[in-house]
Amino acid sequence: MTMRRLSVFNVTSLVIGFAFLYLPILLLVIYSFNASRLVTVWGGFSTQWYGALFRNEALMEAAWVTLRVALLSATLATVLGTLAALALTRYGRFPGRTLFTGMVYAPMVMPEVITGLSLLLFFVAVDFDRGFWTITLAHTTLTMCFVTVVVQSRLMTFDRSLEEAAMDLGAPPLRTFFSVTLPLIAPSIVAGFLLAFTLSMDDLVIASFNTGPGATTLPIKIYSAVRLGLSPEVNAASALLIGIVTLGVISATLISKRSVMRSRRNAH
C-alpha cells in the first residue's frame, strides 16, 4: 500500500477529528501547569500543583488505593482471562461453547452502570463488606474479558504442532505448557495485563457503586473534588493519570503487535 498524498480535505478532517478527541484532554494537561489558582485563567507556567498534589494526603491515599486495586485486579483478571482463552480455543466445540463465549465477552458491552449495580446487589446479598476487596473483585469482572480477547487472538494463530513437537521430544503436557506455550503467548498475556491494569485505573462508575469506607480510588476522589469546585491540583492528578493510562495502552499495543509480527515471521 502506498501512502496517498495528503489533500487539504484530508488534513482538515484529520485535524478536526483529533481536536474533537484530544483538545479537552490537552486543555486539562495545559491547565495543570497553570500558575494561577483560578482554573480557567492562565497565570503563567508552573509545576506547583504537582508539588501540592504530592503533599495532598487524601489524594495520595486515593492514588495508592487505585494502584493496589489495579495491580491486584489485573493480576486476577490475567489468570482467569488466560484460562478462559485457553478453554475457548483449545477444547474444541464443547457443549455450551457459544454461550460461554458470549458470557465471557458480555461485560465488554454491558453498560457499566448495570455491571456496577448488579455487583453491588450481589455483594449486599452475600453480606460482603464493601471496600477495597469489592472494588478489586468488581474490576476483575470488568477487565477479565479484555484479557481473554487479547490472549485468545494470539492462541488462534498459535501453531499447535509446536506443542506436539515438544511432547514428541518427551515433554509431558504440563512441561510443554510452561516451556513452549507460555513463553510464546507471554507477550499477549502481558498486553492483556496492561490493558486490565489501565481499565481498572480509570474506572469511575463500577468503583463508585462498589466502594466503601476507606477505599476511595483516584477517579472517585477527582470526581467528588470537582463537584465541590475545580482545583488545579485535580488537574495535575488527572494529567498524571492520563500519562499512566496512555503509557499502559501504548505498551500493551506495542507488545501484542510485536508478538504477532514475530509469530508471522516464524510462520514463513
Tell me the residue type at 208: S
Question: What values do phi and psi take at 34, rounded to 5?
Answer: -75, 135
Q: C-beta of 201: minimal distance to other proteins in Å?
A: 31
- With beta carbons less than 8 A apart as the criterion, state whether 239 and 28 touch: yes
Interacting residue ranges for other proteins, rule: CB under 8 A? 159, 161-162, 164-172, 175, 179-180, 183-184, 262-263, 265-266
Task: Please identify, using beta-carbon distances, which residue of 216 and 259 lies nearer to other proteins.
Answer: 259
Task: Please identify, using beta-carbon distances, which residue of 137 and 184 lies nearer to other proteins.
Answer: 184
Instruction: Count the neighbouring beta carbons within 10 Å of the beta carbon of residue 24.
Output: 10
Task: Please identify, using beta-carbon distances, which residue of 172 and 214 lies nearer to other proteins.
Answer: 172
Q: C-beta of 166: minimal distance to other proteins in Å?
A: 7
Task: Please identify, using beta-carbon distances, which residue of 117 and 167 lies nearer to other proteins.
Answer: 167
Instruction: Count the neighbouring beta carbons within 10 Å of the beta carbon of residue 211.
Output: 21
Query: What are the respective helix, strand and coil percentages of the chain, to the nearest 5?
Result: 80, 0, 20
Coil, helix or strand at residue 45: strand
Q: C-beta of 90: minimal distance to other proteins in Å?
A: 15
Task: Please identify, using beta-carbon distances, which residue of 3 and 169 lies nearer to other proteins.
Answer: 169
Task: Please identify, using beta-carbon distances, which residue of 180 and 244 lies nearer to other proteins.
Answer: 180
Q: C-beta of 182: minimal distance to other proteins in Å?
A: 10
Q: C-beta of 260: minimal distance to other proteins in Å?
A: 13
Residues 6 or more apart whose CB falls under 8 angstroms from that of 229 comprise none
Q: Which three cell numbers stand for residue 173?
A: 503436557
Q: C-beta of 257: minimal distance to other proteins in Å?
A: 16
Which conformational region is residue 144 in: left (phi greater than 0), alpha (psi within -120 to 50 degrees), or beta? Answer: alpha
State the first-to-last Cα distance of the chain, in angstroms, to the nearest integer: 21
Task: Please identify, using beta-carbon distances, which residue of 48 and 263 lies nearer to other proteins.
Answer: 263
Q: How many contiguous H segments (helices) and E segments (strands) does the chain have?
A: 12, 0
- The single residue listed with the C-alpha cell 487524601 is 58
